[in-house]
Structure 1
Amino acid sequence: MAEEASLLTAPSANLQSNINLQEQCPLFTILPAEIRSLIYTYALTDYEDITHDGQSYDRNTYWYRPGYKARRRTATELLRSCKRVFQETWFMPFALAEHSFYLMHQDRAPPRRVTLERMRQYLATLRDFARIQDGKDIPQIHSIRVFAQLWALEDPRRLQEVLNLEGFRPRNVTITIRYTDFWFWERNAPLHIDARWVNTVIFPESVSTIKMDFEMVDRRKKEIDFITDLAVEKWVFRRADGIIFRANKEDTVTSGWTGSSTWAKARWIRDESRPNEIDFYVKTVTWKPTFDGDNPFAGSYKCPNLDIPSDFVQEPVLWLQGMASVPIDWLASAGVPNEASAEEVAQAVGRRPIRARGQHRPIRRRPRPETDE
């Protein structure tokens, strides 16, 4: 409660002027600031807006997932109730929202999203208002989430640009790597994450936790278990003030969810758990600050890449003589019912489904594009 109470600050003379103190209202005369802060936090925390037409995301998209099944919205009606409420809460929608960024090709991200340039403009406006009203800077925000394809994440400049936004002081940073963000997921390639960005990116002094979501189809969860164990053991992050962040295996959280097997106008029957559905496996690793004075970056230490070893045997996968997906337009024109199983789709295609033996394939790196457009 003490942490939430800190959200409330004494109003400036500007915000106090021409205002009714609402002395007849129990919200202000009976409830202490700590309780009001909890109420405000509940009312002003952002949420998935599934109640309004056009806000829900299509299930058959790259960006549909838990927490992001619709555009996120903050109900700001409370701020318009009276000036007394406004003076105590004007900054809370910004502070409480989970600000999301998409480092990827445009077709992998929702069309209506906050770009870096738009966030810069928003921060400049908010900063000017804060200084005029309170004589202070922008309040610290609770969290940001970065969705990133690996080709973009592995270029350290892209994430650093987000973290270096002027006035942007996040407390919690989460980096989410979705199944389709991994290198050559279309080919069922062994998992690989280059560590150059880990060794280069410097987090702001405001950051207190760093999290990474590693998502994969459920049949490949052993690969996720392996690389997350390696990340816990070998990866460390650093803050601008020199503080080092380390992970503990006890803080690693496992979760899962079920999504569509169709995106980019193709049905990925290779990965289906059931007709038109894929079960996803997610491991979340958390890094926290340490204060033991041990800074591996002061020496020659470099965090290693996360790679599956050459003798690792992948789980068997359903192939249609090498076909992993089928265009949905073809399925529709062929009259294949939506509820058809992968095997039935294979029969409709005219090829016999086979179960490939697990094997390891050498990783071939894809050149990084010049832009993400």
Structure 2
Amino acid sequence: MASSSVALHQRILAKASPDPQMTSLLLQKLPAEIRYEIFSYALTDYPDPDPDRAYGTSTLYTRPSYLAPRKSDTALLQTCRAIYLECWFLPFILREQVHWVVGNQHRAPPGYRFHEQLAKLTFSLHTIRAQQQRDFEIDRLHIFAQMFMIEGGQLHKLLTTPELRPRVITLTIRHADWWFWENDEPLRFEGEWIKRVSGSVPSSAGEIRIELESLERKKSQVDEIARQMKDKWSFRRTDGEILFAAESAVSRWRGTSRWGQQRWVRDETSEGIIDYYIVTVVFRPDAVLQRRRFEVSATAREYAERSMMVESDQLKLHNPEWSRIATDTPFLHEPQPELESEQESEQDITPRPDGWLDRLRRGRFSLWGS
């Protein structure tokens, strides 16, 4: 095979042993564990500061900490082959792996398509595993998901990706991800998907965080959904360990009410502004909670023991007495011609056949992203 058809990192790794650099204090005096900490600090990702790369303000995916794509400064890897061999994979495992499990493309950053990114993730994990010849973990996996995609099995598909071993898994349900949010339907979270996901959570997961976001005026609904979640839900890892709800935290943020060509006046707290309310429920391994003498919900423990015997309705989070706001004008139409060409069908969840996978297989991609 011609060298030009082999990925650069593969050509570097295939060469003979590097110069030992016997006079290098960094490589000869510092323990590998300390070098790892130094290299990790240098290779940790950060938001791209280029203004041209910033996300638009009127999008569903722009939010605190997600204002632009993240990037890694890989200049360290260009210093010498010894350092490259030691930490070439760090930009990938340190980067928060973010996936938007959504039904149409304008709910995710430009160019993101779930099926393509899942294929790229699989390839990257396999490449590192094959080179390292041992299991490895990534720091963080963050999933933004619509309800119908979760219930349709896409979350399970992502979590069962071969070689995927995240230490922390975060699942965020945004205001516009809840069922029929456009009609201001009361919040609800079905439970059938829990049984499908349970048992497929990687054994590396020491923490699962579920972020429940809605409007400030729906604070009581979010609080109740979180309360029921802590009382009923648990997650079983592939090694049999069960994660139970340990604590919850409240946060808030303020964002635009304009998405695409619509301004959602029904949900505004002031002109052009929506106030969001979020409760994050944190699940931790039972063994950890027992050491802390934390009292787990008796209902959650019972349901975990019964596992597949639990009825889906018992895991459902809702309150049938909640009602919605009925209005004839939930939003105003505010045309933005520059966005019209970017809008895609709500049903467009099929990856485009643009030869992307062929380029990936030939090694013409970066493990480190942009």
Deviations, residues 43-78 of structure 1 (Å, cap 9, x unaligned): 2222221x2243211010000012211112122221
1:124-143 counterparts in 2 under 5 A? 124=123, 127-128=126-127, 130-131=129-130, 133-134=131-132, 136-137=133-134, 139-143=136-140
Deviations, residues 69-102 of structure 1 (Å, cap 9, x unaligned): 1112122221112112212211211111111122
Aligned residue for 2:215? 217
CA distance in 1, matches of 2:307, 2:228: 21
2:307 is the alignment partner of 1:301: no
Q: Does 1 or 2 have the higher relative contact order (CA < 8 Å, sep 6+)?
A: 2
Distance 1:232 1:82, change over 3 A: same
Alpha-carbon deviation of 1:181?
0.3
Q: How many residues align?
A: 311
Alpha-carbon deviation of 1:313?
6.8
Aligned residue for 1:95? 93
1:1-373 counterparts in 2 under 5 A? 17-49=16-48, 51-106=49-104, 107-113=106-112, 115-124=114-123, 127-128=126-127, 130-131=129-130, 133-134=131-132, 136-137=133-134, 139-155=136-152, 157-201=153-197, 202-248=200-246, 251-291=247-287, 295-298=304-307, 300-302=309-311, 303-310=314-321, 312=322, 322-329=328-335, 372=349
Distance 1:48 1:221, change over 3 A: same
CA distance in 2, matches of 1:199, 1:125: 29
Distance 1:126 1:17, change over 3 A: farther
Secondary structure of the residue aligned to 2:219 is: helix
CA distance in 2, matches of 1:241, 1:130: 20
CA distance in 1, matches of 2:349, 2:123: 25
Larger helix percent = 2
Deviations, residues 15-49 of structure 1 (Å, cap 9, x unaligned): 89442334444433454333322222222222221
Distance 1:38 1:193, change over 3 A: same
Q: Is the 8 A contact 1:44 1:75 kept in 2?
A: yes
Q: Which residue identity lines up with residue 57 of structure 1 in the other structure?
A: Y
Secondary structure of the residue aligned to 1:280 is: strand
Structure 1-normalised TM-score?
0.75
Secondary structure of the residue aligned to 1:180 is: helix
Deviates more, 1:116-125 or 1:256-265: 116-125
Secondary structure of the residue aligned to 1:40 is: helix
CA distance in 1, matches of 2:92, 2:268: 39
Aligned residue for 1:363? none
CA distance in 1, matches of 2:142, 2:93: 14
Q: Which residue identity lines up with residue 102 of structure 1 in the other structure?
A: W
Q: Which residue identity lines up with residue 335 of structure 2 in the other structure?
A: D
Structure 1 regions of 5+ residues with no counterpart?
Answer: 1-13, 331-368
Q: Is the 8 A contact 2:229 2:317 kept in 1?
A: yes
CA distance in 2, matches of 1:218, 1:119: 34
Distance 1:269 1:91, change over 3 A: same
CA distance in 2, matches of 1:48, 1:151: 30
Structure 2-normalised TM-score?
0.76
Q: Is the 8 A contact 1:95 1:141 kept in 2?
A: yes
Deviations, residues 253-295 of structure 1 (Å, cap 9, x unaligned): 1111111110031111222222222121111111111147974
Identity of aligned residues (%): 32
Alpha-carbon deviation of 1:130?
4.6
CA distance in 2, matches of 1:128, 1:213: 32
Aligned residue for 2:363? none
Q: Which residue identity lines up with residue 238 of structure 1 in the other structure?
A: R
CA distance in 1, matches of 2:93, 2:24: 26
Deviations, residues 200-227 of structure 1 (Å, cap 9, x unaligned): 2131222221110100111211110111
